[in-house]
Amino acid sequence: MRVSDFGKEEDASLKKAIETEAHAAVTEDGAEVICLGCAGMSGFDKELQQKLDVPVLDGVVCALKIIELFHQYGLTHSKIVTYSTPLFKELTHLSPQFARAYTAESKKLEEN
């Protein structure tokens, strides 16, 4: 079985195998949450959650929600060293429209 076959109707065996293992994790091992570990499984979380009656987390959705939370809270990456604002570089031979936009953006960066 390949992950690339996950969404194909003709190969439902991968979904069934994941469901079987997740059910065993809940009933035999006492798992209280199942975490899907592949972007190719996106959308399967709700289907599986209904069958297992425990939370099922889709890693892609969780990552997006965390990024959304950081954005809403006003958090960004550090700009001290690795992601610091690049130094201004004079660009030549730009069209007038790009030159205006570049100059305006450069002034904003210098103010921060």
- Tell me how far CA of residue 81 lies from CA of 30, 66, 77, 78, 84, in angstroms: 45, 24, 11, 8, 5
pLDDT, tens digit, for every residue of 15-73?
888 999 999 999 999 999 999 988 888 889 999 999 999 999 999 999 999 999 999 99
Strands 56-58 and 34-36: parallel
Beta-bridge mates of residue 34: 56
Q: State the chain's maximal CA–CA distance in angstroms.
A: 68
Give this prediction's pTM.
0.63
Q: For 72-99, what is each residue's pLDDT tens digit?
A: 999 988 888 888 877 777 777 888 888 7
